[in-house]
A and B are shown apart, each in its own frame.
Chain A
């Protein structure tokens, strides 16, 4: 996984509450079984008119924000479906960090597995960050110090699970980590469970 350390970018704001993963990645595109190249479908109905022409009012269609790597979102961003196509599509657009008052839990967890940093911030801080960045000012997100730094130097601290922070900073692949470090413990757990709950292993060698 590509490590996440520090990121400086303009920030696009999508302040609406409850932007669900069907809005982020409409279901009809879920028939695509590839993981790469999904950015073109991100926010499809919000980004494009029925005839395929871009909607000029949508923030990511505006030249100043087209390359934004940071998204400032409303409460409960990424709620709904577990589809990992939502973070894959955002990632493909270049977005690496989403700042919101709250997140859908599965989306939140999916981000970390794709080198993306979701940050929970207080609503008042979100409003300030939106105001600061709406005319194109940049934000710097520093995972080493757990701070969002504005152009005027003001720093906002954020919290993150230490294990998730380490994984992002180092670009660790979680499956590889578990396969390398934990399988003895897994085998021990299975042996104990099998002795106590044989029915869970019926028919297995």
Chain B
């Protein structure tokens, strides 16, 4: 009867409070420089300690530059913010992944890489894209800084149980269509708040066929439909990926963990409160045209006409987006010229993403007017890509090859767009100002972003495929 989410929830209930809330045990917490300073300060003010330092892992990713990494950070505010994380983790005995080390990377990339992320656990981080870790069958969700402090001090959070949503993705993806396109299709189908209050389990043959990178991309974007929690049931793909990771269970522990993890998938007769069906075979590569991740279409589509919207409110919402994006109703999406390309972010910066993007280059060059960059999600991804010669390929095509970090996904480091600049981006949010004041973002998959770089406009990555 229980779903995967029910099992994860039920196995972490510390107490059911008379006031209707649940005190939920949190197994693991990841911390970064933006949402942790106030949490550590809170601990200090109340004279509290970190209850389980070994259950935490900290890394700086948002504010860090993706270039000139051998030198001190040039921006004094960013330098102070990273230094504060280092100082706080030292003072409270929390493990810290150093910026200069070979394990550095984006929090949602290195957690899984290190085996810190595991099936069956609860995992939180002061970051909405914590839903990424649900790809392993972990109950993972984003929290605020006050809640970070609560977890540091008590290893618990007071929570309310979510409802269960199943997203059944049937059929097979066509070549050139990826997990990112499933995510964008799901968000467009239910809307930017369509999954609020739900834990979303992605299932079906197209999901089983996804590699872990694809599952992470999909779970990562659950928050863009309003859900804090995306889930994929752990299976052989998960176990093979995790085995021998530095922090994964070892020897007899591995066998015990594996036996437990195999009990986690939703029961065959599990009841979901809502079912959404997506036909993978009918998906085309998708791209957003608006300022909310649900405002997108297949690449063969057109910019919508607000006057054709179903309601006045929806018409107004489209009008506001098109005004910001500088787009004309009815224009073919593939007519939209771009200035910048960003391949990276916790959504799409893993080795599989970089291989896929590199695969469409095939000796071609980035279009003359376009500035394109690849930002690997971690040092491990960067090293692996370099071992495979992908950096040489990207550089030869005219891409910049950078150091790991959140980079252009969040305009609070050195990587920002100028006002009015238009970017083909593999990140997760096309919000107003997300990539810089006045910047215009089109979300898409790595293969489509690489294609856009070469064409200088939004383009169908399936064209020209051999």
Given contacts A189-B14, A197-B260, contact A84 B35 (CB under 8 A): yes
Q: How many contacting A-B pairs (Cβ < 8 A)?
A: 188
A128 lies within 8 A of chain B by Cβ: no
B211 lies within 8 A of chain A by Cβ: no
Residues of B within 8 A of A (CB): 14-15, 17, 19-21, 23, 25, 27, 34-35, 37-38, 41-42, 46, 48, 52, 54, 62-63, 75, 77-78, 80-81, 84, 120-121, 126-128, 142-147, 149-150, 153-156, 158, 160, 192-193, 196-197, 223, 226, 228, 249-250, 253-254, 256-257, 260, 292, 313, 316-317, 320, 410-412, 416, 419, 429, 431-434, 437-438
Tell me if A22 and B431 are in contact (CB < 8 A): yes
Q: Roughly how many angstroms separate A190 CA and B223 CA in the complex, as a whole number? A: 30
Tell me if A84 and B144 are in contact (CB < 8 A): yes
What are 26 A-B interface contacts by the 8 Å CB criterion? A16-B317, A26-B437, A28-B437, A30-B34, A32-B77, A33-B38, A35-B145, A45-B433, A45-B437, A76-B193, A83-B35, A84-B126, A104-B196, A105-B226, A114-B146, A161-B19, A161-B160, A174-B146, A175-B149, A178-B150, A179-B154, A182-B15, A186-B23, A186-B155, A189-B25, A200-B121
Distance of A175 from chain B, by nearest CB (Å) = 5
Q: Roughly how many angstroms separate A20 CA and B410 CA in the complex, as a whole number? A: 14
Q: Roughly how many angstroms separate A183 CA and B14 CA in the complex, as a whole number? A: 10
Tell me if A178 and B21 are in contact (CB < 8 A): no
- On chain B, the residues within 8 Å of A76 by CB distance are 192-193, 196, 226
Tell me if B144 and A162 are in contact (CB < 8 A): no
Tell me if B156 and A178 are in contact (CB < 8 A): yes
Contact with B along A159-197 (1 / 0, CB 8 A): 001110010000000111011001101100110010001
Task: From the candidates B75, B158, B196, B434, name the one contacting A178 in the complex (CB within 8 A).
Answer: B158
9 closest residue pairs by CB, A with B = A163-B19, A199-B249, A84-B144, A199-B253, A110-B144, A113-B146, A33-B37, A76-B193, A31-B77
Distance of A89 from chain B, by nearest CB (Å) = 13
Tell me if B81 and A33 are in contact (CB < 8 A): yes
- On chain B, the residues within 8 Å of A16 by CB distance are 316-317, 320
Residue of B nearest to A114 (CB): B146
A109 lies within 8 A of chain B by Cβ: yes
Tell me if B228 and A105 are in contact (CB < 8 A): yes
Tell me if B256 and A199 are in contact (CB < 8 A): yes
Q: Roughly how many angstroms separate A82 CA and B250 CA in the complex, as a whole number? A: 34
Tell me if B256 and A198 are in contact (CB < 8 A): yes
Task: From the candidates B196, B257, B260, name the one contacting A105 in the complex (CB within 8 A).
Answer: B196
Distance of B181 from chain A, by nearest CB (Å) = 21
Q: Roughly how many angstroms separate A114 CA and B52 CA in the complex, as a whole number? A: 25
- On chain B, the residues within 8 Å of A202 by CB distance are 249-250, 253
Tell me if A22 and B80 are in contact (CB < 8 A): no
Given contacts A28-B412, A162-B19, A202-B253, contact A33 B226 (CB under 8 A): no
A14 lies within 8 A of chain B by Cβ: no
A72 lies within 8 A of chain B by Cβ: no
Q: Roughly how many angstroms separate A50 CA and B412 CA in the complex, as a whole number? A: 18
Given contacts A104-B226, A113-B146, A174-B150, contact A17 B434 (CB under 8 A): no
A81 lies within 8 A of chain B by Cβ: yes
Task: From the candidates B128, B412, B431, name the one contacting A106 in the complex (CB within 8 A).
Answer: B128
Task: From the candidates A27, A35, A190, name the one contacting B411 in the complex (CB within 8 A).
Answer: A27
- On chain A, the residues within 8 Å of B145 by CB distance are 35, 84
Tell me if B226 and A176 are in contact (CB < 8 A): no
- On chain A, the residues within 8 Å of B144 by CB distance are 82-84, 87, 106, 109-110, 113
